[in-house]
Structure 1
Amino acid sequence: MSVEDLGDRVVLTHPDDKSNTATILKYGATVFSWKLNGAEQLWLSDAAKLDGSRPVRGGIPLVFPVFGKNTTDDHLSKLPQHGLARNSTWEFLGQTKSNPPTVQFALSPENANKELTQLWPFDFTLLLTVQLGQDYLKTDIEVQNPSTTQELKFNWLFHTYLKIEDIEGTLVSNLTGVKLYDQLLKQSYIDKHPVITVSDETDLIYQNVDENRLIQVVDRGQPVHTVKRHNLPDAVVWNPWTEKAGGMADFEPKDGYLQMVCIEPGHVHDLVTLAPGQSWSAYQLLYKEQLKYQAI
């Protein structure tokens, strides 16, 4: 079977190569494992909660309708950091394709976290499609505004934790020349470095990144992850490093930051605004690619 519903999670297995799998927890619709040729591609904390008691630390948590902590919108400002999608149990709609195995999940106010929807009283429908290719993983989101009277304003982000061998030998490429906001320095500037290296806590929001830019994670000259984005103009590069990792109870081992880097495609610099009856869609594609250096 290429798709198995195990109650609290769904497992995809590629029919042409059973060493390629993906596992999605229904709580948060979080992909917490993706294996290529039996090798794990996503970082997952050893202390991650997979019982629905809190959002998963690792994998691909889904951020909606707010990124970070909003201070300007009357309703979004009431929500916790990163919103309600990762704090809700999604409905599994089933399999839509057998090869490549493809499944869909849905979230609306009817099945979302009631405590949080009371703080953010808007109508919405989220449709997540997960497709496991023989050499890729695609996560596709559609946001619908079913209301006949209210606008829907939101952020979206795939908070993707990529597994690596050693952050000190790893770099992130193809974001040179792009404007960013450094959340630690609270400053905006153009990144003129040819590559991003991580040697301390890093929290950078790259803005309006050309869709043709392939963000690559490179280990000693070899690309280990390539991230392609559609309709997701922003990209966050994040690593908590020593002090922040030490302060997170669900981050284990405490030196786990050495084996991960977050590359997070999203729409977070500003809000998407949907008029009544409108919809918006975007996707993230994770795969292997040859080294491609792209600059302005």
Structure 2
Amino acid sequence: IRGGIPICWPQFGPHGPLQQHGFARNSIWNLVETSTGTENSFAKCVLSLESSEDTLKSWNHPFKLTLTAILSENNLELDWNVMNTSSDSEFEMSGALHSYFSVADVTKSRVTGLNSGTDKGKYLDNTKNLSEGITEDGTVYFIGEFDRVYLNSGNELIVEEELNGKYSPRIKITKSVDLPDAVVWNPGAEKSQDMKDLGVDQYTSFVCVEPALFNKISLSPNSKWNASFNIKALKNTNA
């Protein structure tokens, strides 16, 4: 039952006082707007989440989130807006768009472009207590558990799959500068056995590449933060 794009906010991972990845992904959002057949798109959907009595109990800050999704033939565009609705206090936040991408076999898949940003492939390895490393060529493969935060990774990443002995680009991920980092994750065989919402060997059928804001930022009263994320399905060139 894992999939989609869970919204990790106002905290990414366990790095703070809240539950893993914050409360936004477990909250009921409001449907603001839907439309179909607009120019250059098949469908548009706008969702919102605002502070409530429940959220204020665990995180005492008023806010409003808005997520706009625009779907076209081979493209999904997401626009994510965070508003600090307080008139007198700032808050700190981190977050990510925890994107799951379907692949035929994760062991025959790879992600490229992770060295295109200012940190040139620098990462924090979550399987080794966030120890630092560098992927100089910007390409990662999946053997066992994989959980890394690529810092300032650049704005364009590619998911590739092996077919007929060659790797072919399948998904292009483009993210705005306000999501400077990228989390790449797959639980691998051993860890997936303890995950109740993942079936036997289902870990082989996906990879997560997540545009992220890993380090916390402060959002001033009555101010906004905005980021965008684009997913484009690419044609198979090795068929």
The verdict on a shared fold, with TM-score over 0.5 as the criterion, is yes
Matching of residue 123 in structure 1 with residue 69 in structure 2:
no
TM-score with structure 1 length normalisation?
A: 0.72
* Per-residue deviation, residues 12-70 of structure 1 (Å, max 9, x unmatched): xxxxxxxxxxxxxxxxxxxxxxxxxxxxxxxxxxxx2xxxxxxxx21111100001112
Give the distance between the partners of 1:149 and 1:105, measured in 2 at CA.
26
Query: Equivalents in 2 of 1:117, 1:61: separation in Å?
Result: 21
Corresponding residue SS for 1:70: coil
Count of residue pairs brought into register by the alignment: 223
Secondary structure of the residue aligned to 2:128 is coil
Q: Does 1:241 align with 2:188?
A: yes
- Secondary structure in 2 matching 1:184: helix
Report 1:169-248 matches (<5 A).
Answer: 169-176=108-115, 177-186=120-129, 187-211=131-155, 214-220=156-162, 221-230=167-176, 231-248=178-195
1:188 CA displacement: 0.9
Structure 2 distance, partners of 1:277, 1:156, is 19
Is 1:259 the counterpart of 2:201? The answer is no
State the 1:290 CA deviation. 7.3
Higher relative contact order (CA 8 A, sep 6+): 2
**Do residues 274 (structure 1) and 216 (structure 2) align?**
no
What are the residue-to-residue correspondences of 1:1-296 with 2, within 5 Å? 48=1, 57-71=2-16, 77=17, 79-95=18-34, 98-99=37-38, 100=41, 101-110=43-52, 114=54, 116-176=55-115, 177-186=120-129, 187-211=131-155, 214-220=156-162, 221-230=167-176, 231-252=178-199, 254-268=200-214, 270-289=215-234
Task: Sort the Cα spacing of 1:94 and 1:194 in 2 relative to 1 into closer, same or farther, 3 A.
Answer: closer
Distance change (3 Å), C-alpha of 1:194 and 1:127: closer
| Structure 2 length-normalised TM | 0.88
Structure 1: which amino acid aligns with 2:103?
I
Identity %: 30
Q: Aligned equivalents of 2:137 and 2:76: distance in 1?
A: 29
Counterpart code for 1:162 = F
Q: Which amino acid letter does the alignment assign opposite residue 189 of structure 1?
A: G
CA distance in 1, matches of 2:24, 2:197: 19
